[in-house]
Structure 1
């Protein structure tokens, strides 16, 4: 397993307090846990992946995600078993959208 960590500063969109989990860790898939947490206005992302050596690809996908959502004070944990970049993006968007829709 490889662990990758990213931090994106100066987010502008806060999330509701209720954490969300989307996806299932399994063959070719991943699980995303997203929660609101004090991060000094940043969004932190920790990825645990079985696909070793794909740091540049992960970084590109995370930068794209941050540009779309601009999350502030958010913590994201990803457990990956070899999902494609498209599936990663889909699950991340699903997690944020689920949080925003379920907010009171």
Structure 2
């Protein structure tokens, strides 16, 4: 079966865009901040806000997450995003830390 140049180009674009999308999805978690990171421990970062020790962090209130913090640099629909506190590390949108602020 002969493949036309047009068919080859369309197939190449499709495969290429799939690779780009999967690399973007991988990048979300590849550079994720670990709870074991000393900077994360310093502010009590948890990847899941429901696991925050409320006795240790009395400033925590239900509904506070990294995703609705003013320091979060991702979109509302992102699972992970940047944070001004952690430089190039990505924080979980459902996470929380003691520096939470919602201005």
Larger Rg: 2
Q: Which one has a larger percent strand, Structure 1 or Structure 2?
A: 1
Q: Which one has a larger percent helix, Structure 1 or Structure 2?
A: 2
Bigger relative contact order, structure 1 or 2 (CA pairs below 8 A, ≥6 apart): 1
Alignment TM-score > 0.5, same fold? no
